[in-house]
Chains A and B, each alone.
Chain A
Protein backbone atom coordinates (compact mmCIF):
# COMPACT_ATOMS: atom_id res chain seq x y z
CA UNK A 1 0.00 0.00 0.00
CA UNK A 2 1.07 3.57 -0.61
CA UNK A 3 2.80 5.27 2.31
CA UNK A 4 4.06 8.81 2.76
CA UNK A 5 6.80 9.91 5.16
CA UNK A 6 7.82 13.48 5.94
CA UNK A 7 11.39 14.36 6.86
CA UNK A 8 13.29 17.52 7.68
CA UNK A 9 14.50 19.72 10.53
CA UNK A 10 12.22 20.10 13.51
CA UNK A 11 13.58 23.52 14.40
CA UNK A 12 14.07 26.48 12.07
CA UNK A 13 15.24 29.97 12.99
CA UNK A 14 13.12 33.01 12.14
CA UNK A 15 13.82 34.50 8.69
CA UNK A 16 15.33 31.22 7.47
CA UNK A 17 13.87 28.70 5.03
CA UNK A 18 11.88 25.68 6.14
CA UNK A 19 12.61 22.66 3.93
CA UNK A 20 10.76 19.36 4.09
CA UNK A 21 10.72 16.25 1.95
CA UNK A 22 7.97 13.67 1.56
CA UNK A 23 9.02 10.19 0.47
CA UNK A 24 6.42 8.10 -1.34
CA UNK A 25 6.57 4.31 -1.23
CA UNK A 26 4.37 1.54 -2.57
CA UNK A 27 2.94 3.35 -5.56
CA UNK A 28 3.61 5.67 -8.50
CA UNK A 29 3.68 9.45 -8.49
CA UNK A 30 1.87 9.69 -11.80
CA UNK A 31 -1.85 10.46 -12.03
CA UNK A 32 -1.92 12.30 -8.71
CA UNK A 33 -1.20 15.64 -7.17
CA UNK A 34 1.00 15.78 -4.08
CA UNK A 35 0.16 18.33 -1.41
CA UNK A 36 1.46 19.91 1.75
CA UNK A 37 -0.96 20.80 4.52
CA UNK A 38 -0.13 22.30 7.90
CA UNK A 39 -1.82 22.59 11.27
CA UNK A 40 -0.66 25.04 13.95
CA UNK A 41 -0.89 23.64 17.49
CA UNK A 42 -4.52 23.47 18.58
CA UNK A 43 -5.82 24.92 15.31
CA UNK A 44 -7.33 23.79 12.02
CA UNK A 45 -5.92 22.56 8.73
CA UNK A 46 -4.39 24.85 6.11
CA UNK A 47 -3.56 23.74 2.58
CA UNK A 48 -0.14 25.08 1.52
CA UNK A 49 0.08 23.89 -2.07
CA UNK A 50 0.41 21.01 -4.47
CA UNK A 51 2.73 19.69 -7.16
CA UNK A 52 1.77 17.33 -9.96
CA UNK A 53 3.80 14.38 -11.18
CA UNK A 54 4.86 16.54 -14.14
CA UNK A 55 6.03 19.36 -11.88
CA UNK A 56 3.21 21.89 -12.27
CA UNK A 57 2.39 23.67 -9.04
CA UNK A 58 -0.42 25.54 -7.32
CA UNK A 59 -0.07 27.43 -4.06
CA UNK A 60 -2.25 28.97 -1.40
CA UNK A 61 -2.62 32.67 -2.19
CA UNK A 62 -1.77 33.45 1.45
CA UNK A 63 1.62 31.74 1.18
CA UNK A 64 2.38 31.98 -2.52
CA UNK A 65 5.13 34.58 -2.17
CA UNK A 66 7.13 32.34 0.17
CA UNK A 67 6.44 28.80 -1.09
CA UNK A 68 8.25 26.63 -3.60
CA UNK A 69 7.41 22.99 -4.25
CA UNK A 70 9.17 20.47 -6.45
CA UNK A 71 9.03 16.79 -7.31
CA UNK A 72 11.71 14.21 -8.03
CA UNK A 73 10.10 11.26 -9.77
CA UNK A 74 13.35 9.27 -9.84
CA UNK A 75 13.48 9.35 -6.05
CA UNK A 76 9.67 9.27 -5.60
CA UNK A 77 9.92 12.34 -3.41
CA UNK A 78 8.46 15.81 -3.36
CA UNK A 79 9.59 18.83 -1.41
CA UNK A 80 8.41 21.99 0.29
CA UNK A 81 10.43 25.15 0.81
CA UNK A 82 8.92 27.97 2.85
CA UNK A 83 11.10 31.06 3.06
CA UNK A 84 11.35 33.88 5.61
CA UNK A 85 9.63 31.89 8.32
CA UNK A 86 8.14 33.48 11.43
CA UNK A 87 6.78 32.04 14.66
CA UNK A 88 3.32 31.73 13.10
CA UNK A 89 4.73 29.11 10.73
CA UNK A 90 5.18 26.75 13.68
CA UNK A 91 2.93 23.81 12.87
CA UNK A 92 2.56 20.13 12.17
CA UNK A 93 3.31 19.72 8.48
CA UNK A 94 1.63 16.89 6.59
CA UNK A 95 2.21 15.63 3.09
CA UNK A 96 -0.74 14.01 1.34
CA UNK A 97 -1.77 12.41 -1.93
CA UNK A 98 -4.47 14.33 -3.74
CA UNK A 99 -6.75 12.67 -6.27
CA UNK A 100 -6.40 14.34 -9.67
CA UNK A 101 -10.03 14.95 -10.66
CA UNK A 102 -12.02 15.05 -7.45
CA UNK A 103 -9.34 16.62 -5.26
CA UNK A 104 -9.66 14.70 -2.01
CA UNK A 105 -6.64 13.80 0.10
CA UNK A 106 -6.85 10.03 0.35
CA UNK A 107 -3.45 9.19 1.84
CA UNK A 108 -1.58 11.21 4.45
CA UNK A 109 1.84 11.09 6.04
CA UNK A 110 2.06 10.96 9.82
CA UNK A 111 3.18 14.59 9.97
CA UNK A 112 6.28 16.34 11.23
CA UNK A 113 6.34 19.16 13.77
CA UNK A 114 8.34 22.20 12.76
CA UNK A 115 9.02 24.88 15.35
CA UNK A 116 10.21 28.33 14.36
CA UNK A 117 12.35 29.74 17.14
CA UNK A 118 15.74 31.29 17.68
Chain B
Protein backbone atom coordinates (compact mmCIF):
# COMPACT_ATOMS: atom_id res chain seq x y z
CA UNK B 1 0.00 0.00 0.00
CA UNK B 2 1.00 3.60 -0.51
CA UNK B 3 0.66 5.43 2.80
CA UNK B 4 -0.55 9.03 2.74
CA UNK B 5 0.36 11.29 5.66
CA UNK B 6 -1.27 14.68 6.12
CA UNK B 7 -0.04 17.49 8.33
CA UNK B 8 -1.16 19.08 10.45
CA UNK B 9 -4.05 16.95 11.65
CA UNK B 10 -5.84 20.13 12.65
CA UNK B 11 -5.23 23.84 12.48
CA UNK B 12 -6.84 26.97 13.74
CA UNK B 13 -7.34 29.81 11.26
CA UNK B 14 -9.33 32.97 10.75
CA UNK B 15 -11.31 34.35 7.85
CA UNK B 16 -8.94 35.87 5.33
CA UNK B 17 -5.96 33.72 6.32
CA UNK B 18 -3.78 31.80 3.91
CA UNK B 19 -3.94 28.12 4.88
CA UNK B 20 -1.52 25.42 3.75
CA UNK B 21 -2.00 21.68 4.21
CA UNK B 22 0.68 19.15 3.36
CA UNK B 23 0.30 15.58 2.15
CA UNK B 24 3.23 13.18 1.87
CA UNK B 25 3.23 9.86 0.05
CA UNK B 26 5.33 6.86 1.10
CA UNK B 27 6.30 6.27 -2.54
CA UNK B 28 6.62 8.40 -5.65
CA UNK B 29 3.11 8.91 -7.02
CA UNK B 30 3.93 11.40 -9.76
CA UNK B 31 1.02 13.83 -9.92
CA UNK B 32 -1.68 11.31 -9.03
CA UNK B 33 -2.87 13.22 -5.99
CA UNK B 34 -6.38 14.53 -5.35
CA UNK B 35 -7.86 16.77 -2.65
CA UNK B 36 -11.33 16.70 -1.09
CA UNK B 37 -13.29 18.88 1.32
CA UNK B 38 -15.77 17.35 3.74
CA UNK B 39 -18.23 19.20 5.92
CA UNK B 40 -20.02 17.55 8.86
CA UNK B 41 -22.79 15.20 7.77
CA UNK B 42 -21.93 15.58 4.09
CA UNK B 43 -20.15 13.53 1.46
CA UNK B 44 -16.66 14.66 0.47
CA UNK B 45 -16.36 17.07 -2.44
CA UNK B 46 -13.57 17.00 -5.02
CA UNK B 47 -11.49 20.19 -5.03
CA UNK B 48 -8.25 19.43 -6.88
CA UNK B 49 -7.24 16.51 -9.10
CA UNK B 50 -3.89 15.38 -10.48
CA UNK B 51 -2.14 17.62 -7.97
CA UNK B 52 -3.02 21.02 -9.38
CA UNK B 53 -6.13 20.92 -11.60
CA UNK B 54 -9.09 22.78 -10.16
CA UNK B 55 -12.37 20.86 -10.31
CA UNK B 56 -15.14 22.69 -12.16
CA UNK B 57 -17.10 25.00 -9.90
CA UNK B 58 -14.48 25.15 -7.16
CA UNK B 59 -13.41 28.70 -6.20
CA UNK B 60 -10.01 29.81 -7.40
CA UNK B 61 -8.83 30.50 -3.83
CA UNK B 62 -8.12 26.76 -3.68
CA UNK B 63 -4.90 25.63 -5.31
CA UNK B 64 -2.74 22.54 -5.29
CA UNK B 65 0.92 21.92 -6.00
CA UNK B 66 3.61 19.29 -5.74
CA UNK B 67 4.74 16.06 -7.34
CA UNK B 68 6.50 12.85 -6.38
CA UNK B 69 6.02 12.45 -2.65
CA UNK B 70 5.15 15.92 -1.35
CA UNK B 71 2.01 17.89 -2.10
CA UNK B 72 0.31 21.02 -0.83
CA UNK B 73 -3.24 22.34 -0.74
CA UNK B 74 -3.45 26.11 -0.28
CA UNK B 75 -6.48 28.21 0.51
CA UNK B 76 -5.76 31.86 -0.18
CA UNK B 77 -8.19 34.05 1.71
CA UNK B 78 -10.09 31.60 3.91
CA UNK B 79 -13.86 32.05 3.77
CA UNK B 80 -16.41 31.06 6.44
CA UNK B 81 -17.63 28.17 4.29
CA UNK B 82 -14.09 26.74 4.11
CA UNK B 83 -14.06 25.53 7.71
CA UNK B 84 -14.11 21.79 7.10
CA UNK B 85 -11.93 18.69 6.98
CA UNK B 86 -9.64 18.17 4.00
CA UNK B 87 -8.36 14.84 2.68
CA UNK B 88 -5.74 13.91 0.13
CA UNK B 89 -5.98 10.72 -1.92
CA UNK B 90 -3.48 8.98 -4.17
CA UNK B 91 -4.59 7.42 -7.44
CA UNK B 92 -1.18 6.23 -8.64
CA UNK B 93 -1.81 2.63 -7.65
CA UNK B 94 -5.00 0.66 -8.18
CA UNK B 95 -5.31 0.23 -4.41
CA UNK B 96 -6.38 3.78 -3.61
CA UNK B 97 -5.58 5.35 -0.26
CA UNK B 98 -6.51 8.53 1.61
CA UNK B 99 -4.64 10.68 4.04
CA UNK B 100 -5.89 10.91 7.60
CA UNK B 101 -7.46 14.34 7.14
CA UNK B 102 -6.80 17.90 8.26
CA UNK B 103 -9.47 19.74 10.18
CA UNK B 104 -9.54 23.50 9.61
CA UNK B 105 -11.25 25.21 12.55
Contact = CB atoms under 8 A, between A and B. Distances in A.
Interface of A: 35, 44-47, 50, 58, 60-61, 94, 98-99, 102-106, 108-111
Interface of B is mostly: loop
Contact of A104 (B1, B91, B97, B100): B91
B98 A102 contact: no
A102 B43 contact: no
Interface of B: 1, 32, 34, 36, 38, 42-46, 49-50, 55, 87, 89, 91-92, 94-101
Contacts, number: 61
B55 A106 contact: yes
Nearest to B43: A108
A109 B42 CA distance: 10
B46 A109 contact: no
20 contacts: A44-B98, A44-B100, A45-B101, A46-B98, A47-B95, A58-B94, A58-B95, A61-B95, A94-B43, A98-B96, A102-B34, A103-B32, A103-B34, A103-B96, A104-B46, A104-B50, A105-B34, A105-B46, A109-B43, A110-B42
Contact of B44 (A46, A58, A102, A108): A108
Contacts of A60: 95
Contact of A47 (B45, B92, B97): B97
Of the candidates B43, B50, B99, the one having the most CB atoms from chain A within 10 angstroms of its own CB is B43
